[in-house]
């Protein structure tokens, strides 16, 4: 059994208090075991002088005691507790911190606004490929914005308003948006017309799930989900016109957010309008994930690619030997480099094929006979990062590829994310993965070298090695597939001389 350690992270926010339990495996992979939430609404639990009320403190301690007990049940150590604007601006801050420690045994550290922005940005930086733009983290009592260039933080600012604190103002939406845009125009550090605009936090996640439900969106993932600004504007106007009781009837807006969802999204929409951003990308990762990365460190990289490192992290959790997964990835890389000119493959498409190689065996843990189906759905449900939704589905289709017919079956429900034209490339990459698989253990052993030659619409692969065992049927099936997909006749001297006469699609 692989040795592991378990830690807990508690995030005390102005609207909610959240717990995350994480197992770190000996080889470096991190697995989230549990997440829980309480909603003490601390932003509304301050008196006129800025003191946390007794009722608010009681609700906070009750949540912390419960999360402490959950962490102890998992055997978690350490238990990391951080607070944001929820406790940052309290007049009786030190007294509250001392009483929390006395009554729960937990030590709370308070993050400054700049620290909160930096840690939240770290979570985005490690899960989304960044260029130029901004991130916004809407909390209950504060809003953190980071401007970045070339993927690196250039400026950060913490605004003293959030979804909960603005909800108490009861401003009409039009007035609220105007007021917010005035706040954003005080500095000249926000990028204009950014190619990327990214939102963190509960308000953004709730909106994303609600819009996905309205669109009947087939992929049940919000991370990297992109929403046009015009769609957000229309959605917010519709929600703002409803009463809180009417919002309660909407399946995808939690009851503890019906009164704060409008100001929460208004904060984001005003920023989109101020900077003239066309789209918003949702991050499913935020402060707690940043705290985890800060604790564990981000220096251990196997591939120097967000997508490949994410796929590798998931592959490490599988019971299938990781040496076989990485061996297949390396074979795809070698063959892909030799064939990219012939097939017209981009570097990014080859990277997706390598991600698929790392995850090729993931479904075999469930059922060997239907492994492709399980691989496909496991990848779609896995916490992959560094991939757009289009690429995410593409990786699942490549990794599960067995035949054109089954590819069509898996793709059909996701045709709104991956086009039929893109399916041609996905099939080519699936054939590349099958080729690499056939010439790698465990299907073919003893291979020391492969030599590829391309001429007259033929691909001749010469195999060198000792005691080579050949999977004849797999080679014959691959030859048929390659003829249809690549328009190439496969010849493997000594193992496969001619392509079978009847080729299937």
In a domain, 454, yes or no: yes
103 and 161 housed in the same domain: no
28 and 170 housed in the same domain: no
137 and 259 housed in the same domain: yes
Distance between CA atoms of residues 85 and 92, nearest Å: 13
102: left (phi over 0), alpha (psi -120 to 50) or beta: alpha
Q: State how beta strands 458-465 and 447-455 pair.
A: antiparallel
88 and 154 housed in the same domain: no
82 and 32 housed in the same domain: yes
In a domain, 220, yes or no: yes
pLDDT tens per residue, the chain (505 residues)? 345 699 999 999 999 999 999 999 877 778 999 999 999 999 889 999 999 999 999 999 999 999 999 999 999 999 999 999 999 989 999 999 999 999 999 999 999 999 999 999 999 999 999 999 999 999 999 999 999 999 999 999 999 999 999 999 989 999 999 999 999 998 789 999 999 999 999 999 999 999 999 999 999 999 999 999 999 999 999 999 999 999 999 888 999 899 999 999 999 999 999 999 999 999 999 999 999 999 987 655 788 899 999 999 999 888 788 899 999 999 999 999 999 999 999 999 999 999 999 999 998 888 888 999 999 999 999 999 999 999 999 999 999 999 999 999 999 999 999 999 999 999 999 999 999 999 999 888 888 899 999 999 999 999 998 878 778 899 999 999 999 999 999 999 988 755 444 444 4
And the tokens for 14?
């102005």
pLDDT for 462-473, tens place per residue? Answer: 999 887 877 889
The CATH number of residue 58's host domain is 3.30.420.40
DSSP annotation of 341: H
And the tokens for 463?
């195999």
Which of 75, 110, 145 is the last residue in one of the domains?
110
In a domain, 457, yes or no: yes
Distance between CA atoms of residues 214 and 237, nearest Å: 15
The CATH number of residue 376's host domain is 1.10.3210.10
In a domain, 301, yes or no: no
In a domain, 311, yes or no: yes
In a domain, 500, yes or no: no
457 and 402 housed in the same domain: yes
106 and 118 housed in the same domain: no
Contacts of 1 (CB under 8 A, 6+ apart): none
469 and 430 housed in the same domain: yes
In a domain, 504, yes or no: no
Which of 226, 260, 289 is the last residue in one of the domains?
289
255 and 360 housed in the same domain: no
pLDDT for 254-300, tens place per residue? Answer: 998 999 999 999 999 999 999 999 999 999 999 999 999 999 876 55
440 and 486 housed in the same domain: yes
352 and 233 housed in the same domain: no
Cβ(37)–Cβ(77) below 8 Å: no
In a domain, 403, yes or no: yes
The CATH number of residue 285's host domain is 3.30.420.150
416-419 LR contacts (CB < 8 Å, sep 24+): 416/217, 416/218, 417/218, 417/219, 417/389, 417/390, 417/393, 418/390, 418/393, 418/394
And the tokens for 144?
């953190």
Quick count: other Cβ atoms within 10 Å of Cβ 97? 18
Structural domains counted in the chain:
3
Distance between CA atoms of residues 199 and 272, nearest Å: 10
And the tokens for 21?
């339990």
Quick count: other Cβ atoms within 10 Å of Cβ 159? 20
Which of 289, 319, 337 is the last residue in one of the domains?
289
pTM: 0.93
**The pLDDT of residue 153:** 97
267 and 320 housed in the same domain: no
How far apart are the two ends of the chain, measured CA to CA in Å? Answer: 44
Cβ(395)–Cβ(315) below 8 Å: no
Distance between CA atoms of residues 7 and 1, nearest Å: 19
Q: Print the domain residue range for 13.
A: 4-110
């Amino acid at each position: 059994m692989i040795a592991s350690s378990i830690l807990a992270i508690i995030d005390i926010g102005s609207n909610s208090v959240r717990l995350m339990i994480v197992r770190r495996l000996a080889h470096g992979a991190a697995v989230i075991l549990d997440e829980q939430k309480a909603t003490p609404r601390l932003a509304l639990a301050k008196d006129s002088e800025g003191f946390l009320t007794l009722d608010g403190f009681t609700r906070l301690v009750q949540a912390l005691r419960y999360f402490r007990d959950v962490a102890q049940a998992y055997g978690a150590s350490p238990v990391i507790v951080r607070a944001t604007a929820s406790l940052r601006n309290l007049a009786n801050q030190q007294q509250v911190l001392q009483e929390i420690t006395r009554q729960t045994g937990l030590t709370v550290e308070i993050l400054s606004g700049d620290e909160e922005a930096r840690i939240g940005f770290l979570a985005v930086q490690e899960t989304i490929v960044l260029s130029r733009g901004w991130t916004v983290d809407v909390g209950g009592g504060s809003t953190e914005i980071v401007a970045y260039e070339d993927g690196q933080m250039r400026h950060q600012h913490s605004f003293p308003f959030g979804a909960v604190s603005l909800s108490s103002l009861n401003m009409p939406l039009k007035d609220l948006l105007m007021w917010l845009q005035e706040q954003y125009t005080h500095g000249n550090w926000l990028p204009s017309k950014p190619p990327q605009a990214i939102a963190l936090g509960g308000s953004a996640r709730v909106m994303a799930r609600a819009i996905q439900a309205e669109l009947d969106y087939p992929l049940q993932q919000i991370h990297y989900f992109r929403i046009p600004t015009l769609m957000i504007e229309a959605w917010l106007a519709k929600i703002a016109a409803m009463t809180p009781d009417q919002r309660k009837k909407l399946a995808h807006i939690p009851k503890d957010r019906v009164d704060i969802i409008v100001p929460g999204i208004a904060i984001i929409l005003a920023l989109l309008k101020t900077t003239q951003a066309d789209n918003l990308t949702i991050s499913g990762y935020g402060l707690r994930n940043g705290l985890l990365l800060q604790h564990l460190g981000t220096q251990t990289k196997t591939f120097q690619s967000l997508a490949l490192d994410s796929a590798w992290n998931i592959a490490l959790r599988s019971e299938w030997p990781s040496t076989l997964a990485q061996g297949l990835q390396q074979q795809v890389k070698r063959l892909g480099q030799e064939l990219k000119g012939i097939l017209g493959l981009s570097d990014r498409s080859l990277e997706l094929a390598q991600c698929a190689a790392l995850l090729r065996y993931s479904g075999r843990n469930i059922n060997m006979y239907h492994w492709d189906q399980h691989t496909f759905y496991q990848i779609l449900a896995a916490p992959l990062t560094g991939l757009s939704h289009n690429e995410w589905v593409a990786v699942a289709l490549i990794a599960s590829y067995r035949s054109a017919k089954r590819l069509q079956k898996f793709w059909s429900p996701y045709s709104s994310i991956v086009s039929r034209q893109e399916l041609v490339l996905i099939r080519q990459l699936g054939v590349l993965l099958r080729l690499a698989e056939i010439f790698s253990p465990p299907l073919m052993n003893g291979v020391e070298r492969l030599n590829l030659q391309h001429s007259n619409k033929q691909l001749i692969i010469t195999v060198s090695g000792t005691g080579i065992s050949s999977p004849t049927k797999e080679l014959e099936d691959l030859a048929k597939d390659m003829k249809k997909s690549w328009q190439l006749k496969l010849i493997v001297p000594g193992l496969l001389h001619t392509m079978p006469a009847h080729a299937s699609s």
